[in-house]
Every structure is written in C-alpha cells, then in structure tokens.
C-alpha cells in the first residue's frame, strides 16, 4: 500500500487487509446530535448543582453545563476535529478472534528506520485515541519518517468509538482485548517484538499482554493500581509524601468511584441512559474530564471526546471492562 500521508508507510510484512481509514460522520448524524442538544433541558437549580464559589464536589455544576451546552450547539465544529484526526495516518483492520471478528481502528506514525521500536499505546475510559494526538503531533514536528525512533500505534479498544463492538452473543473481557491487541500488532508486522503502554483500562490490558503474549517485550504504565501489602501494618513509618498519597487514595475511594460501581454492576442501565441524550453523556463524561486532570482542559477538548463517543454510538459498548475487575460485580473475572 502506497501511503497517502507522511509516516503512513506500513511495514513491508503488514497484512494485506489493513486499509487506510478516514473519519467522516454523515451530516444527518451531526444534525441529529445538534437537535437533541437543542431539545435537551438542563435541570433547574438546586443546592447540589449550584454550590457557591464554583464548588463542584457534588458533581457537574449547572452553570458549567448551561455554558457547555451553548458552545456545543452554536460554536463547536466537529468537522475541524475530523480534519485534525485525518491529518494523521489512520487505518482499520479486521481482527479474526475466537470470540468473533473485530474491525479495529488505529492511528499511527510509522518510521522508515530499520531499528525503530514498535510501541502500542492503549487508552482507557472515558478516553480514546484522541488523547494521544497531541503527542503524535510533537513527534511529527520533531522527526521525519527517516529519523523517527519508534513505530507508534494507537488503537481504539474494541467497543470504544471507532473499533467494532462485541457481538451480541459474546461477552468480552480484558483478556480477550489483550489477545486482540496482540493480534493487531502481529497483523501490522510486529510479531517479533513490541512495547505496550497503557493507562486506566489500557494499563490492565498492557499487563495482561505482557504476561500472556510473548511478542510483548516490555510495558510502561501510567496507572498502577495496587492492593495494600499484607506486611504494611504501620503507616507511621511511611514518609509524609506516602502518607499524603494514602489520604488521597481514601478520599478518592470515598468520593470518586460510584461511577465504576454503576458501570460494573448495572452497565445495561447506565448504557441506555448515556445513549439517550448527548447532554446526559456530557454530564457523565464531562464530570471526569473536569475532576481528574491536574490542569483544566479546554472546553473544546471535552466536547471533542464526548462528540466522538456520541457520534460513534459507543457510550454503552465501552463499559465492558468494569464488571470484570470490580469485586462488587456478579460477573467479575
């Protein structure tokens, strides 16, 4: 396949059924999203959604949601998002797995260097491949295809946004997704070795890949959830930084995990709710983009991510990972 974009030359041994992909949502889908937004009411002011001094510890603020809705309806440009995505090489490939065939999307920067290191970078929820585009832009500016030291592969995980959802008759677990990602890397031509990087759901998938699949030679994680060691009985011996970290952990568990329990125990219910209204989806996902970042994100960045989930109709199909790891779920593995 002759590449149509810089950094888009697949390895010589890549599978022949990998094809270039261009993101383009039909006009009628965008129009429908805007109409649903227009007719979606914002709940009236109450104590919880209108706390003084911008306090949002009880969830999304009403004034923020009103302004975000206005911008989404009248100013947000989805086509600009598509243009940014399509400025990078994007591909789709059918991955034939024992639980079905998945059409897996991935963005990539491929190197022409013979010793370039293949790296697959895996997102989580409510993330997507979009969160890696600023990094790809930095690499694209710093290197040429002849000097890039890595092959960078950013898949959309199965069930998320641009990758096929699981078949109706089949469950899917992180073990399955690890196998699918490994198959993807082999299809691209990296069966002799690659590195996996992941955060959130992607971190769990990366660890499974490292254990179960020989082609994965190393992993890098930016999310490392751990259980408390049995030997850790005296917190007074910890440093002040470590003690502060434990306090943050306890606060997180007490105030920021309700969403995960809902995803794990009643994914069908929350899936229907999130798929019924773009404003509901913005409230659910937007809250996380506001609360989980060190520095505030531009509103446009949040709207891009929520729009991607909405326009790909994947709000409900992206929740599969939670019930397999939550101790509260009746369907955990």
Low-confidence ranges of the chain (pLDDT < 70): 1-2, 326-333
What pLDDT score was predicted for residue 79?
Answer: 99
According to the model, what pLDDT value does residue 328 have?
53
Q: What is the pLDDT of residue 164?
A: 82
Question: 118: Cβ–Cβ under 8 A, 6 or more apart, which residues?
Answer: 150, 151, 153, 185, 188, 190, 193, 194, 195
Spatial neighbors of 228 by CB under 8 A, at least 6 apart, are: none
Residue 234 placed within a domain: no
Q: What is the tens place of the pLDDT at every residue in 147-201?
A: 999 999 999 999 999 998 877 778 899 999 999 999 999 999 999 999 999 999 9
193, part of any domain:
yes
Report the 10 Å Cβ neighbour count for 284.
20
Q: Answer yes or no: is 327 within a domain.
A: no
The reply to whether 324 falls in a domain is: no
Q: Which residues have CB under 8 Å from 244's CB, separation 6+?
A: none
- Phi/psi-derived region of residue 54, left when phi > 0, alpha when psi is between -120 and 50, beta in every other case: left
* Domain assignment present for 13: no
> Does 322 map to a domain?
no
The predicted pLDDT at position 226 comes to: 73
- For the chain, the first-to-last Cα distance in angstroms comes to 41
Domain of residue 281 covers 19-225+245-312
* Structural domains counted in the chain: 1
44 located within any domain: yes
> What gap in Å lies between CA 313 and CA 226, rounded to an integer?
33
The domain that holds 257 is classified in CATH as 3.40.50.1820
104 located within any domain: yes
The set of residues, in sequence order, having a beta carbon less than 8 Å from that of 163 and lying 6+ positions away, is 102, 103, 104, 105, 155, 156, 157
């Amino acid at each position: 396949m002759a590449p149509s974009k810089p950094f888009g030359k697949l390895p010589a041994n890549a599978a022949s059924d990998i094809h270039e992909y261009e993101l383009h949502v039909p006009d009628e889908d965008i129009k429908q999203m805007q109409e649903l937004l227009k007719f979606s009411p914002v709940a009236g002011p109450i104590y919880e959604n209108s706390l003084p001094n911008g306090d949002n510890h009880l969830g999304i603020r009403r004034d923020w949601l009103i302004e975000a809705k206005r911008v989404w309806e009248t100013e947000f440009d989805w086509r600009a998002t598509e243009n940014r995505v399509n400025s990078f090489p994007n591909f789709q490939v059918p991955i034939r797995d024992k639980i079905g065939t998945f059409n897996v999307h991935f963005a990539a920067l491929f190197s022409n260097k013979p010793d370039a290191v293949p790296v697959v970078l895996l997102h989580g929820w409510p993330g997507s491949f979009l969160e890696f585009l600023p990094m790809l832009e930095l690499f694209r500016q710093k290197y040429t295809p002849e000097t890039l030291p890595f092959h960078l592969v950013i898949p959309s995980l199965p069930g998320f946004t641009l990758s096929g959802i699981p078949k109706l008759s089949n469950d899917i677990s992180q073990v399955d997704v690890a196998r699918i990602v490994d198959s993807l890397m082999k299809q691209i031509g990296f069966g002799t070795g690659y590195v996996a990087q992941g955060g959130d759901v992607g971190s769990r998938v990366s660890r499974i890949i490292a254990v179960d699949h020989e082609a994965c030679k190393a992993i890098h994680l930016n999310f490392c959830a751990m259980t408390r060691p049995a030997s850790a009985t005296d917190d007074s011996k910890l440093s002040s930084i470590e003690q502060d970290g434990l306090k943050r952990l306890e606060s997180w568990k007490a105030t920021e995990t309700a969403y995960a329990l809902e995803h794990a125990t009643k994914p069908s219910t929350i899936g229907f709710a999130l798929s019924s209204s773009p404003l509901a989806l913005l409230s659910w996902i937007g809250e996380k983009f506001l609360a989980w970042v060190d520095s505030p994100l531009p509103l446009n960045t949040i709207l891009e991510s929520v729009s991607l989930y909405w326009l790909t109709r994947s709000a409900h199909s992206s929740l599969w990972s939670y019930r397999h790891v939550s101790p509260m779920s009746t369907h955990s593995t």
